[in-house]
Amino acid sequence: MKPRGVTLIELLVALAIVGLLLLAAAPLYAQWIADNQIGSGAESVAQGLRLAQSEAIKRNLQVEFVLDPATGTGGWTVQEAAAGTAVQSAPFRQGADRVAFVVGPAGLTTVTFSSLGTIVTPNGDGTNPLETVDISSSVSGTRALRVLVGGGRTGIKICDPAWPDPADPKACPAVGG
Protein backbone atom coordinates (compact mmCIF):
# COMPACT_ATOMS: atom_id res chain seq x y z
CA MET A 1 0.00 0.00 0.00
CA LYS A 2 1.30 3.40 -1.01
CA PRO A 3 1.53 6.03 1.76
CA ARG A 4 -0.88 8.98 1.44
CA GLY A 5 -0.02 12.59 2.12
CA VAL A 6 1.86 15.55 0.77
CA THR A 7 5.60 15.76 0.52
CA LEU A 8 7.51 18.75 1.81
CA ILE A 9 8.43 19.74 -1.76
CA GLU A 10 4.75 19.73 -2.84
CA LEU A 11 3.80 21.82 0.19
CA LEU A 12 6.54 24.38 -0.53
CA VAL A 13 5.50 24.64 -4.20
CA ALA A 14 1.87 25.18 -3.19
CA LEU A 15 2.86 27.88 -0.67
CA ALA A 16 5.05 29.60 -3.30
CA ILE A 17 2.15 29.67 -5.77
CA VAL A 18 -0.22 31.07 -3.14
CA GLY A 19 2.38 33.69 -2.19
CA LEU A 20 2.83 34.78 -5.82
CA LEU A 21 -0.94 35.04 -6.30
CA LEU A 22 -1.27 37.18 -3.16
CA LEU A 23 1.62 39.37 -4.26
CA ALA A 24 -0.01 39.91 -7.66
CA ALA A 25 -3.41 40.68 -6.12
CA ALA A 26 -2.21 43.14 -3.44
CA PRO A 27 -2.13 46.27 -5.67
CA LEU A 28 -5.60 45.50 -7.04
CA TYR A 29 -6.89 44.99 -3.51
CA ALA A 30 -5.42 48.33 -2.38
CA GLN A 31 -7.03 50.05 -5.38
CA TRP A 32 -10.37 48.39 -4.64
CA ILE A 33 -10.24 49.51 -0.99
CA ALA A 34 -9.31 53.09 -2.02
CA ASP A 35 -12.15 53.23 -4.57
CA ASN A 36 -14.59 52.08 -1.89
CA GLN A 37 -13.31 54.75 0.51
CA ILE A 38 -13.72 57.45 -2.15
CA GLY A 39 -17.29 56.28 -2.76
CA SER A 40 -18.00 56.17 0.96
CA GLY A 41 -16.65 59.69 1.44
CA ALA A 42 -18.74 61.05 -1.43
CA GLU A 43 -21.88 59.35 -0.13
CA SER A 44 -21.25 60.69 3.37
CA VAL A 45 -20.92 64.29 2.15
CA ALA A 46 -23.98 63.97 -0.11
CA GLN A 47 -25.98 62.42 2.74
CA GLY A 48 -25.04 65.29 5.05
CA LEU A 49 -26.04 67.87 2.45
CA ARG A 50 -29.38 66.15 1.82
CA LEU A 51 -29.99 65.94 5.56
CA ALA A 52 -29.32 69.68 5.95
CA GLN A 53 -31.67 70.46 3.07
CA SER A 54 -34.47 68.28 4.43
CA GLU A 55 -34.04 69.55 8.01
CA ALA A 56 -34.31 73.14 6.76
CA ILE A 57 -37.65 72.30 5.15
CA LYS A 58 -38.86 70.24 8.11
CA ARG A 59 -37.90 72.84 10.73
CA ASN A 60 -38.98 75.78 8.54
CA LEU A 61 -35.74 77.67 9.23
CA GLN A 62 -32.23 78.05 7.87
CA VAL A 63 -29.96 75.05 8.41
CA GLU A 64 -26.23 74.88 7.72
CA PHE A 65 -24.05 72.05 6.47
CA VAL A 66 -20.48 72.59 7.73
CA LEU A 67 -17.66 70.43 6.36
CA ASP A 68 -14.37 69.74 8.14
CA PRO A 69 -12.24 68.34 5.28
CA ALA A 70 -9.30 67.17 7.44
CA THR A 71 -8.12 63.72 6.36
CA GLY A 72 -8.47 61.13 9.10
CA THR A 73 -10.13 63.42 11.64
CA GLY A 74 -12.67 65.47 9.68
CA GLY A 75 -16.36 65.08 9.11
CA TRP A 76 -19.47 67.19 8.76
CA THR A 77 -22.07 68.83 10.99
CA VAL A 78 -25.64 69.87 10.24
CA GLN A 79 -26.80 72.69 12.52
CA GLU A 80 -29.46 75.33 12.84
CA ALA A 81 -28.04 78.52 11.33
CA ALA A 82 -29.31 81.02 13.91
CA ALA A 83 -28.88 79.01 17.11
CA GLY A 84 -25.93 76.84 16.08
CA THR A 85 -27.71 73.84 17.60
CA ALA A 86 -26.28 70.67 16.09
CA VAL A 87 -28.81 68.43 14.38
CA GLN A 88 -26.35 65.67 13.45
CA SER A 89 -22.60 65.16 13.03
CA ALA A 90 -20.66 62.45 11.24
CA PRO A 91 -16.90 61.85 11.31
CA PHE A 92 -15.03 60.51 8.27
CA ARG A 93 -13.81 57.37 9.89
CA GLN A 94 -15.76 54.35 8.74
CA GLY A 95 -14.51 53.78 5.23
CA ALA A 96 -13.45 57.31 4.32
CA ASP A 97 -10.70 58.14 6.79
CA ARG A 98 -7.82 57.90 4.30
CA VAL A 99 -9.13 59.95 1.40
CA ALA A 100 -8.55 63.64 0.69
CA PHE A 101 -11.43 66.12 0.66
CA VAL A 102 -10.77 69.29 -1.37
CA VAL A 103 -13.42 72.00 -1.23
CA GLY A 104 -14.23 74.48 -3.94
CA PRO A 105 -13.93 77.37 -3.95
CA ALA A 106 -10.91 76.95 -1.70
CA GLY A 107 -11.48 77.62 1.98
CA LEU A 108 -15.27 77.52 1.86
CA THR A 109 -16.83 74.85 4.05
CA THR A 110 -20.43 75.93 4.70
CA VAL A 111 -23.73 75.72 2.82
CA THR A 112 -26.87 77.30 4.25
CA PHE A 113 -30.29 76.01 3.15
CA SER A 114 -33.42 78.17 3.45
CA SER A 115 -36.72 76.93 4.84
CA LEU A 116 -37.68 76.12 1.23
CA GLY A 117 -34.59 73.92 0.77
CA THR A 118 -32.80 76.35 -1.54
CA ILE A 119 -29.21 77.48 -1.09
CA VAL A 120 -28.82 80.85 0.64
CA THR A 121 -26.22 83.17 -0.92
CA PRO A 122 -24.27 84.40 0.96
CA ASN A 123 -24.24 82.20 4.05
CA GLY A 124 -25.24 83.73 7.38
CA ASP A 125 -21.59 84.55 8.15
CA GLY A 126 -21.21 86.46 4.86
CA THR A 127 -19.16 83.81 3.04
CA ASN A 128 -20.20 82.28 -0.25
CA PRO A 129 -21.60 78.75 -0.10
CA LEU A 130 -19.53 75.66 -0.73
CA GLU A 131 -19.97 74.55 -4.35
CA THR A 132 -17.93 71.36 -4.78
CA VAL A 133 -16.13 68.72 -2.74
CA ASP A 134 -13.56 66.60 -4.58
CA ILE A 135 -12.76 63.25 -2.97
CA SER A 136 -9.59 61.43 -4.03
CA SER A 137 -6.96 58.97 -2.87
CA SER A 138 -3.19 58.77 -3.22
CA VAL A 139 -3.50 55.15 -4.41
CA SER A 140 -2.71 54.99 -8.14
CA GLY A 141 -5.43 53.85 -10.51
CA THR A 142 -8.35 55.20 -8.46
CA ARG A 143 -11.01 57.55 -9.81
CA ALA A 144 -11.79 60.71 -7.91
CA LEU A 145 -15.41 61.71 -7.31
CA ARG A 146 -16.97 65.16 -6.94
CA VAL A 147 -20.00 66.20 -4.93
CA LEU A 148 -21.77 69.14 -6.56
CA VAL A 149 -23.85 71.39 -4.34
CA GLY A 150 -26.72 72.88 -6.31
CA GLY A 151 -26.39 70.41 -9.19
CA GLY A 152 -28.71 67.69 -10.41
CA ARG A 153 -32.45 67.32 -9.79
CA THR A 154 -32.14 67.26 -6.00
CA GLY A 155 -29.52 70.00 -5.83
CA ILE A 156 -26.83 67.52 -4.73
CA LYS A 157 -25.04 65.29 -7.23
CA ILE A 158 -22.12 62.86 -7.12
CA CYS A 159 -20.22 62.77 -10.40
CA ASP A 160 -16.91 61.69 -11.92
CA PRO A 161 -14.82 64.67 -13.10
CA ALA A 162 -12.72 62.41 -15.37
CA TRP A 163 -15.61 60.59 -17.07
CA PRO A 164 -14.89 60.58 -20.83
CA ASP A 165 -18.44 61.17 -22.12
CA PRO A 166 -19.76 64.57 -20.96
CA ALA A 167 -23.30 63.59 -22.01
CA ASP A 168 -23.32 60.64 -19.59
CA PRO A 169 -25.06 61.35 -16.26
CA LYS A 170 -21.97 59.99 -14.43
CA ALA A 171 -19.89 62.89 -15.79
CA CYS A 172 -19.60 66.23 -14.04
CA PRO A 173 -21.06 69.14 -15.96
CA ALA A 174 -18.66 71.56 -17.62
CA VAL A 175 -17.61 74.60 -15.60
CA GLY A 176 -20.50 77.04 -15.67
CA GLY A 177 -22.85 74.22 -16.76
pTM: 0.81
Query: How does pLDDT run across 55-80, given as a tens digit for each residue?
Result: 999 999 999 999 988 766 788 999 99
Domains in the chain (CATH in brackets) are: 8-159 (3.55.40.10)
DSSP labels for 73-120?
T-EEEEEETTT--EEEEEES-TTTTTSEEEEESTT--EEEE-TTSPBP
**138 exposed, middle or buried (CB, 10 Å; 0-12, 13-18, 19+)?**
exposed
Length of the chain: 177
pLDDT digits (tens, 9 = 90+) for 103-159: 988 888 999 999 998 998 888 888 889 999 999 988 878 889 999 998 655 689 999
Tell which residue, 110, 115, 111, has the closest CA to residue 56. 115
28 or 52, greater pLDDT: 52
